[in-house]
Amino acid sequence: MKFFIAGATGATGRHVATLLLQQGHNVVTVARNPAALQSEVSLYPHLSVTAGSVLDMADSDLDNLITDCDGVICCLGHNLTFKGMYGAPRLLCRESVERMAHSIIRTRRQQAEHQPPTKFILMNTNGNRNRDLDEKLSRGDRLVIGIVRLLLPPHRDNELAAEFLRTDIGQNHQDIRWAVVRPDGLVNQDQVSNYESFPSPVRGVVFNSGQVSRINVAHFMTRLACDAGEWQRWVGRMPVVYNAE
């Protein structure tokens, strides 16, 4: 299979790319600094890295990368610097998701025969609610998330990116099916370990939250991409992922 990854130089995106490449899939990506993926390129001939970013590429260049992909996986996130958090592009995730979705639609409609809808898997945050469900936050969590939404633009960006898939693409789009992955507090681990996924948070999102390793989130996203049963379970939903205790 062939996948386009946005954010493959990031802490989670790099695991997603490596796991897919190790399974023999073709991976296409775009990176502001392609040298950051040099070691992966030398290990895996079926990895293709183009210099640039989803937001800055011409439509035709993005289409050339996305065409024929079975799935698009977005692990973009704002760099944790003042410029990354408050500078442009404020809507990095929202606008990138929309550009990639429009590219999927354009390229599929140029093909004579329609394949099954392209999968769109978005890495998001457990601080975001799935508004299709009656997800309740504790009063404390609600207060903190409200403050975070006001003070940290990347949180709003994550919310809008997921909302684009949930409402603009919706559940029955002829070209795209999506899943939005909501990790709990992210930590770094070297190896995949046991983890669990749920339709909605089973812990607090700020108070009494838990942890999940980036490599487990990546493993879950690659299972969504490659395992038909896992995809059927979560398509059109927003699973929350935790390390197993």
Ligand X SMILES: NC(=O)c1ccc[n+]([C@@H]2O[C@H](COP(=O)([O-])OP(=O)(O)OC[C@H]3O[C@@H](n4cnc5c(N)ncnc54)[C@H](OP(=O)(O)O)[C@@H]3O)[C@@H](O)[C@H]2O)c1
* 175 versus 184: smaller Cβ distance to ligand X: 184
- Whether 162 and 238 have beta carbons less than 8 Å apart is answered as yes
The C-alpha atoms of residue 216 and residue 223 are separated, in whole angstroms, by 10
CB of 237 vs ligand X, minimal distance in Å: 16
Question: Which residue's Cβ lies closest to ligand X?
Answer: 10
Closest distance of CB 215 from ligand X, Å: 11
Least Å distance between CB 110 and ligand X? Answer: 26
- Binding positions for ligand X, rule: CB under 6 A: 7, 9-13, 32-33, 36, 53, 75-79, 84, 89, 92-93, 123, 125-127, 154, 158, 183-186, 214
Order of strands, edge to edge, in the sheet holding 47-51? Answer: 47-51, 26-31, 2-6, 71-74, 118-123, 176-183, 240-243, 195-198
Q: Would you say 155 and 148 are in contact if contact means Cβ atoms under 8 Å apart?
A: yes
Beta carbon nearer to ligand X, 117 or 153? 153
CB-nearer residue toward ligand X: 108 or 219:
219
Residue 57 C-beta: closest distance to ligand X, Å? 10
CB of residue 116 to ligand X, shortest distance in Å: 26
Considering beta carbons, is residue 92 or 101 the nearer one to ligand X? 92
Sole residue written with tokens 């709990």: 184
CA trace torsion 127, 128, 132, 138 (10° rounding): 30
Nearer CB in complex with ligand X: 115/207: 207
Q: Which candidate, 46, 164, 54, 52, places its Cα nearest to that of 99?
A: 54
CB 239 within 8 A of CB 182: yes
